[in-house]
Structure 1
Amino acid sequence: MPGELVRVREEVPARFGVSSRYAKWAGTPAPPPTGPGPAVLFERVTPGAPGAEARAVLMGLYGTRRRAAALLGTTPARLPRQLLDAVASPVPPVRVRRDRAPGRGELAPDLTALPVPVLTDEDAGPYLTLGAVLATDPETGVRNLSVHRMCVQGPDLLSIWMVPGRDLETAYRAALRAGRPLPVAIHLGLGPAVLLASCCPASLVPPGTDELAVAGALGGAPVELAPCRTVGAEYIADAEYVLEGELLADHAPENPRGPAATPEFLGYQGRAHPSLPTVRVTGITARDGAILQAVSGPGHEQSVLLGFGMEAAVLGRLRELDAPVRSVLCHTAGGGQLMLVIQWERKRSSADDEVVRKASESVLEEFRMAKTVVSVDEDVDVESDADLWWAMTTRMQADRDVVVLPDREGFPLDPTQSPAYSPALSAEGRTAKVVFDCTVPFAQRDRFHRPRFTPDGS
């Protein structure tokens, strides 16, 4: 569609050049002035290595909910339901011989020759912000695909931050117990079904479920896998770039020069970890004319990618409770995780007042990341911030419609979730959670009638 893609043809540096130009389109929670905008293809981005070839970088492909859903031939309202269907009816990936996979060229295993962006002058270095890691647990044989924050520490070395207890970290621990590194394939540039599946939370795609099988169902065809050249791992055959390597027992500081990592999805500068596992890159392959895909950490795009899976998980849970849910939206102001808008079906009796209130509270209790729930009626446009603020202003009284759940498990990247901010919190990563019930009480429904404008036929 017109205006959906901007091409930047002049040469720009990977260090600050990409991020500074994209900033005006990054969207909340990036710092203002900004707003969601087009996908931006930087056609000539110069890497950090002197004399390295300029290569293409894409940012913002998923920068609006509508565009992200359209890439899968659907709408934002339908996509969470399609994700639930894909989890229920997965399509397993298929293996192809390397000579039957799409053609790829071999590059020198030198990360400094790739156009990996540096976002700010505080960053620890160039970051793979959309690197999807594929690995297989050596004990269980379970395959996992997940996106992780990885910092370039040298020509063939990355540090990697893995959320403790998630599948990749579990597979890594299993490899350590066996006394060997974990072979991995890191993908930079994947199709929308695969990338979206890799961003789904464990509450939707539980341990033991193959994200690639979910992607196959979502995309309507099995994902093709091929064997890596330099390590005993598989890679996704149509990826733009593939970094082959081994996740080592060795650790390194994320930023030996300072306290900052790279901007996080909640809009604040990330804090560097003092010690992280490392990946030794053993080979790099790329498609002809490959495009490296990246995101701006505190931008609309990352929130969109994280949000759809969370919406599906919450929608599925509310269905299990037989709650009259119509739709769920993870607002990008909460990074696609912390703020949820729940739209309810039209109330049929006064009993639904309590059903809506209790179901909203249950979401906060059951989903650790959820901090704020805004509940609205079926006549409110959940995609419109103006309509949401209108509903909050005219359909809520704070003394009766705000419910606070104190001192619950939360998410420490939110800087308010700390006893230093609120002494009522018992530990770091604890938070007060809140429901704003902006639904009309059943008995009052006739007083909240919105006008309807009839077309005049012209």
Structure 2
Amino acid sequence: MSEDFRAFLKEMEETKEGGFIRIKKEVDTRYEVAAIVKKLEEARKVPLIIFEKVKGSSMPVAANCNGTRGRVAHALGVPKKELEKRIIHAFRNPIPPVEVSSSPVQDVVLMGDDIDLTKFPAMMYHDTDAAPYITSGIVFAKDPDTGVYNLSYNRLMIKGKDRLGIFMTVGKHLNAIYSKMEELGKPLEVAVAIGNHPSVSLGALAIGPYDEEELGIIGGLKESPLEMVKCKTIDLMVPAGSEIVLEAEIEPFTREKEGPFSEFTGYALGEGQNPVLHIKAITHRHNPIYQDICGGQSREHLIMATIPMEANYLRAVQSAVPEVRAVRVPAPFTLIISMKKKYEGQARLAMLSAFNADLYLKHAIVVDPDIDINNLQHVLWAIATRVQAERDIFIVPRVRGSSLDPSAEPVGVTDKMGIDATAKPNLDQFAPINQVPREVMERIKLEDYLEKDF
């Protein structure tokens, strides 16, 4: 499997998986790209888009690269229905990366006065965004004690030619690594890779234990080692197949205003005093292609995070409750679990396991296998008819959650709620569901009873 971003784009243009379009008319990074993406979504279309001419930049822009499950599955070489299985396989069977001596991502090396982030086609998506943001950059860092790499997506606010504001969620791994370095009074070296194959994107979004290295998960997704090349100015390696790399340090004890930004919750969030990246070098391919992930509740922003998130929840919950069959993340901070309940208390155990798997999770709902977890109306019907609040709802108050939850007060402190929407004591002994006999449903043909012009 290719791990090269350009090879991925070429394959998508040839196969048209999920749609592929080129827009030749000039677009503005201020709101116009976001408007085009949004209008396409309103028409229920999520094509991979190449914006060939972007105002103020020489770089073309690729958007919606991870916008559909089918496109991501195709990039990994599996059918869409096998995508979750491949991700869980990668969690369980990581393949370490390998170092290569050179890469096209270092064809051009910019340092000193040649560094200029303002030439990037960084976007403003909504009228609440504080500045242009880099959204598709994967941040690479190493734990100072173990040397284990951490990969994460963090919003990056352009603050000048060589400076970026960064938002790090308290409780997440990058923040923990930065805190270690700050206690030592030292800067944290980071690299930001832009323009990445979907296998790298999914791996960077993997949620797991602190010492679980995402680089191995990427290898598992690809079923081959990720090729990496040493940075020019810092002690890190980055994917050889990326388009652009920013080599940087996050300064200790420096905080500057960052945000607000249009987040996946649908709200402008996170204005505060946050750390700053100082760029030491920019490397890129000749004529680089800039990858963008449209901010806010764009389809890509939501789907690319949800895919590995669901796989992680499934492996975590099944390890405690093997009877769990499937999970879905239908909205921010919310999980629906389908399971064949065997005994009292098992549904609550499944929800507690899910809460333990990811601090972002705030609401968990368990339903019986007869409920379609992809149909929210069906899930609400189960809640309406199988739940008694005192018996079936529990709350874990005042625990750490997402710093991007607009309802949290203070920031990042939230209540977690579990809803057991399974039939009590079990589905077999619950009130029978109304059904027209199957034989009659199969026998009746509407055309035998209705006029042709109905």
Q: TM-score range by the shorter chain?
A: 0.7 to 0.9
Return closer, same or farther for 1:281/1:21 CA change in 2, 3 Å cut-off: farther
Q: Deviations over 1:29-77 (max 9, x none)?
A: xxxx685633333222223xxxx42x22222232333433343234565
Return closer, same or farther for 1:361/1:454 CA change in 2, 3 Å cut-off: farther
Counterparts of 1:18-417 in structure 2, within 5 Å, are 18-25=33-40, 37-47=46-56, 52-53=57-58, 55-74=59-78, 78-98=82-102, 104-106=107-109, 108-176=114-182, 180-201=186-207, 204=208, 206-249=209-252, 251-255=254-258, 260-331=259-330, 333-334=331-332, 338-345=333-340, 351-352=342-343, 354-364=345-355, 367-392=358-383, 395-399=385-389, 402-409=392-399, 410-417=401-408
How far residue 149 of structure 1 moved from its aligned partner, in angstroms, is 1.3
Name the CA distance, whole Å, in 2 between partners of 1:179 and 1:91.
34
**Cα RMSD for the two superposed structures:** 3.1
How far residue 451 of structure 1 moved from its aligned partner, in angstroms, is 6.9
Name the CA distance, whole Å, in 2 between partners of 1:176 and 1:254.
19
Name the CA distance, whole Å, in 2 between partners of 1:344 and 1:139.
40
**Mapped contact 1:87–1:214 kept (Cα < 8 A):** yes
- SS of the counterpart of 1:83? helix
**Mapped contact 1:96–1:226 kept (Cα < 8 A):** yes
**Mapped contact 2:84–2:311 kept (Cα < 8 A):** yes
- Equivalent residues, number: 421
Name the CA distance, whole Å, in 2 between partners of 1:217 and 1:175.
30
Pick aligned residue for 2:414 from 414, 427, 430 = 430
- SS of the counterpart of 1:447? coil
Structure 1: unaligned runs, 5 residues or longer:
27-32, 420-426
| Aligned residue in 1 for 2:11 | none
Structure 2: unaligned runs, 5 residues or longer:
1-15, 445-454
Return closer, same or farther for 1:2/1:436 CA change in 2, 3 Å cut-off: same
Which letter maps to 2:413? G
TM-score, reference length from structure 1:
0.81
Return closer, same or farther for 1:149/1:34 CA change in 2, 3 Å cut-off: farther
Return closer, same or farther for 1:144/1:414 CA change in 2, 3 Å cut-off: closer
- SS of the counterpart of 2:257? coil
Aligned identity (percent) is: 28
| Aligned residue in 1 for 2:450 | none
**Mapped contact 2:270–2:404 kept (Cα < 8 A):** no
How far residue 308 of structure 1 moved from its aligned partner, in angstroms, is 2.7
- SS of the counterpart of 2:386? coil
- Please identify which structure carries the higher helix content: 2
**Mapped contact 1:42–1:57 kept (Cα < 8 A):** yes
**Mapped contact 2:267–2:296 kept (Cα < 8 A):** no
- SS of the counterpart of 1:405? strand
Return closer, same or farther for 1:2/1:189 CA change in 2, 3 Å cut-off: closer
| Aligned residue in 1 for 2:430 | 444
Name the CA distance, whole Å, in 1 between partners of 2:299 and 2:329.
12
| Aligned residue in 2 for 1:29 | none
TM-score, reference length from structure 2:
0.81
- SS of the counterpart of 1:329? strand
Return closer, same or farther for 1:455/1:72 CA change in 2, 3 Å cut-off: farther
Which letter maps to 1:38? P
